Amino acid sequence: MNIDGKQVAADLRQSLAQEVAELKQQTGITPGLTVVLVGEDPASQVYVRNKVKQTQEVGMISNEFRMAADTSEEALLAKLDELNNDPAVHGILVQLPLPKHINESRIIESIVPEKDVDGFHAMNSGRLMNGEEGALVPCTPQGCVILAKKHLGDDLSGKHAVVIGRSNIVGKPVAMLLLQESCTVTIAHSRTKDLPALCREADILVAAVGRPEMVKGDWIKPGATVIDVGINRIATEDSKSRLVGDVDFAEAEKVAAAITPVPGGVGPMTIACLLKNTIEAARRFGVRPQ
């Protein structure tokens, strides 16, 4: 069975539009999201365009700042300082990866945690890790758990979840969320021994690797739930390109009970959860307009 992330995301956005309307009516606050894009990476530009469009569709304010690829770290920090202090901005997202000469963690830590709608700031990841309330939770991991629950229901307790990938953006936070759901969690990475055998133990398999179609059908336990986070653009014979995940979909769908497609799986959920976090930030920390 396919888990239709595009549809789940559309449903979520519809309820978010309702929340935005209510927040506006009750407080006069319109949630505002600002995306900062440094450089000209074409893939990043597509995401940014989608984000802007969907932000506006749910009735939120969307702003976008493009800065040249050779922008200095100081200039970016100055921009972020301005956004940190702008009461109309409730969420700030700096598109990653950043150019090599910019220290990514310095940039992430310079965003005030209250506006860190990516959930990447140490304050938010620390709160997530400690199980404290009030964390802004990373968007892609939230999307993964929502989609897993769509198939398995709300109770994931006792399931063995195997997460391939240990990045701060996806692997580690999705493992933390699944742990919070009382899954038994194994985190695999490039040094893991006999990855196929480990994956075959998984009731829930999350692939966040960045290697096109690496996970094969015979790595999957029959009846498992597969969440494919990978977004890989590969060349096709007609010299065009198409998107594939980290899982060999054609093989995997024959073995898994449920699987998220690429495109149309986790990707659209990431953006919907970003809007959700921004509304949350506006509700908690938004200042009434004078």
Ligand X SMILES: NC(=O)C1=CN([C@@H]2O[C@H](COP(=O)(O)OP(=O)(O)OC[C@H]3O[C@@H](n4cnc5c(N)ncnc54)[C@H](OP(=O)(O)O)[C@@H]3O)[C@@H](O)[C@H]2O)C=CC1
Ligand Y SMILES: Nc1nc(=O)c2c([nH]1)NC[C@@H]1CN(c3ccc(C(=O)N[C@@H](CCC(=O)O)C(=O)O)cc3)C=[N+]21
Shortest reach from residue 268's CB to ligand Y, in Å: 5
Q: Name 203's Cβ contacts closer than 8 Å, sequence gap at least 6.
A: 159, 160, 161, 221, 224, 225
Are 139 and 119 contacting, i.e. CB atoms less than 8 angstroms apart?
yes
Tokens, residue 164: 């391939």
Is 98 among the residues that bind ligand X (CB under 6 A)?
no
Looking at residues 139 to 198 of the shown chain, list those that interact with ligand X (rule: CB under 6 A).
140, 164-167, 169-171, 188-192, 195
The CB density around residue 264, as the number of other CB atoms within 10 Å, is: 16
Catalytic annotation, pick one of 54, 79, 95, 246? 95
Binding site partner of 93, from ligand X, ligand Y, none, Cβ cut-off 5-8 A by kind:
ligand Y
Looking at residues 142 to 181 of the shown chain, list those that interact with ligand Y (rule: CB under 6 A).
none
H or E segment to which residue 226 belongs: strand 225-228
Shortest reach from residue 243's CB to ligand Y, in Å: 6
Q: Which residue is nearest to ligand Y (CB)?
A: 267
Are 50 and 274 contacting, i.e. CB atoms less than 8 angstroms apart?
no
Are 275 and 266 contacting, i.e. CB atoms less than 8 angstroms apart?
no
Which region, judged by CB under 6 A, interacts with ligand Y, from 64-72, 93-101, 197-205, 212-220? 93-101
Looking at residues 96 to 135 of the shown chain, list those that interact with ligand Y (rule: CB under 6 A).
96, 118
Cα of 85 vs its chain's centroid, Å: 25
Report the catalytic residues: 51, 95, 118
Report the interface residues with ligand X, using CB under 6 A: 140, 164-167, 169-171, 188-192, 195, 208-211, 229-232, 266-267, 270
